[in-house]
Amino acid sequence: MQHTALTPRHALLALAVMAVWGSNFVVIRIGLDHLPPLLFAALRFSVAFLPVALFLPRPAVPWRNLAAYGVLIGAGQFGMLFLAISAHISPGLASLVVQTQAFFTIGLAMRFSGERVRGFQWVALCLAAAGIGLIVWRTDGSATPLGIGLVLLAALGWAGGNLVARQTPGVNMLAYVVWASGFSVPPLILLSLVFEGWPAIRTGLAHADAATWAAVAWQAVGNTMFGYAVWGWLLARYPTAIIAPMSLLVPVFGMGASAFFLHESLPAWKLAAAALVMAGLALNTLWPRFSSRGKAG
């Protein structure tokens, strides 16, 4: 039976997941100090797949579905995201810009599933686009046009993965993500060999220290196992309309962690850009809930 309001304990659990997912952008930056980005992404998905797949049964979904999700999330989302954070955008801004996946998901659903974009979604998109535009216009070096472009490509890959995952409702999301991770590794290794080269791979592995390997492990243990397991557990007990808005806190934790641990500056223009993007995300997420309440009343 689903509950209609989060208990204090479950609210803290949801908050913990948001803190892990948000602060993970800082962890990514730490791992990139020694590892080339595509190699780092390949290691992240390797650890997420093994040995966990030995203890979780494969979800009852077609192999092609797992493969599509693994490639889109692995090479598409995280490959592009790691490339961006390696030299082209700060972790805090990356945590914000990548949330545009919500709008890419809407656009892809409209293109492939025939869904119609509603008026409030256009307003939400305009608000978020204004925030991204402000980042491009007023950047202080914490983001380059290339960095923003790479993160937008990461958001597009995430959105594509969302549509693929929608084809398997009710699946155990932790098992799904773990098994799909096996399909993320081969294209990332191939891309790393082609674009980063064996000398860079060898040097990165040789210079990786304890903090680097802890960052790799955290990607699998914290971000994947804890995050997806708890998130799926909460979604099974509460309506999506109650749980989904919590994801708005990811860029809050992302920008906060980047400012605290990496001393990323937060001038007024950057906060204004964040407010615009967050307003768009909030409108897109919360409007259907309040609209349905108004009709019910």
Q: Can you give the pLDDT at residue 293?
A: 58
Q: Can you give the pLDDT at residue 108?
A: 87
Q: What angle do CA 154, 228, 71 make, to 5 degrees?
A: 35
Q: Residue type at 113?
A: S
Average pLDDT over residues 14-40: 94
Least reliable range by pLDDT among 16-20, 24-28, 129-133, 293-297? 293-297
240 belongs to a structural domain:
yes
Q: How far apart are the first and last CA of the chain?
A: 24
Q: Can you give the pLDDT at residue 141?
A: 76
Average pLDDT over residues 82-90: 94
Q: What is the mean pLDDT of the chain?
A: 89
234 belongs to a structural domain:
yes
59 belongs to a structural domain:
yes
17 and 226 Cβ atoms separated by less than 8 Å? yes
Listed ranges 60-64, 135-139, 221-225, 283-287; the one with the highest mean pLDDT: 60-64
Q: Can you give the pLDDT at residue 294?
A: 54
Quote the pTM value. Answer: 0.89
Alpha carbon of 17 to those of 42, 243, 247: distances in Å? Answer: 23, 11, 9
Nearest to 156 by CA among 76, 87, 251: 76
Q: Can you give the pLDDT at residue 157?
A: 94
5 belongs to a structural domain:
no
Report the C-alpha gap between 79 and 192 in whole angstroms: 10
4 belongs to a structural domain:
no
pLDDT tens across 144-161, in order? Answer: 999 999 999 999 999 999
Number of domains in the chain: 1
Q: Can you give the pLDDT at residue 189?
A: 97
Query: For the chain, how many residues are written?
Result: 297
Percent above pLDDT 70 for the chain: 95
Structural domain range at position 35: 12-296
Query: Does residue 6 sit in helix, strand or coil?
Result: coil
Report the C-alpha gap between 226 and 21 in whole angstroms: 10
Least reliable range by pLDDT among 12-21, 63-72, 106-115, 163-172? 106-115
Average pLDDT over residues 116-122: 83
Report the C-alpha gap between 139 and 148 in whole angstroms: 11
Q: Can you give the pLDDT at residue 4?
A: 60
